[in-house]
Amino acid sequence: MNQPNRQSGVALVAAIFLIVVIGGAVTLLASLAVRNTAQSTQTLLSIRAQSAAQAGLEMAVQQLVESETCGSVTSTLTPAALPGFTVTINCNSADYGRPSQSFTLFSLTATASYGNPTDSDYVWTEINATVEL
């Protein structure tokens, strides 16, 4: 007498298991790729915000050297090379002196931002500088 083969269907179970494992690996890799792309975009925007703030600060120093006055000024600019960024420059001055020498210290703050605070791609940075004239 021949006995029936009891191993029928094992290949189907192994194939389904393999498909599930490969599907899980593909899903994990896709998730990591999306996360990596978002992180790269955030890093790029952060570097651009730093550049926009630095450009705003350099512009403020140039204007300060030319006019030697600042008062308490707040100005906002949008650099053409960095669309979407807003740079705000604050300037305050204080006079200091000794009997033999007087000087003025100018405190400059450049703030650059991109997007809205509720957005996932929002970046913000601030740079400070002190200039003596």
Q: What is the pLDDT of residues 33-63, one digit of tens each?
A: 877 777 888 899 999 999 989 988 888 888 8
Domain of 102 in residue numbering reads as 10-132
Domain assignment of residue 73, yes or no: yes
Domain assignment of residue 39, yes or no: yes
Checking if the pLDDT of 74 tops 60, the result is no
Domain assignment of residue 48, yes or no: yes
Q: DSSP for 1-15?
A: -PPPPTTTTHHHHHH
| pTM exceeds 0.85 | no
The strands making up 102-114's β-sheet, listed across from edge to edge, are 73-77, 85-97, 102-114, 123-132
Please tell me the total count of domains within the chain: 1
pLDDT band at 102 (very low <50, low <70, confident <90, very high): confident
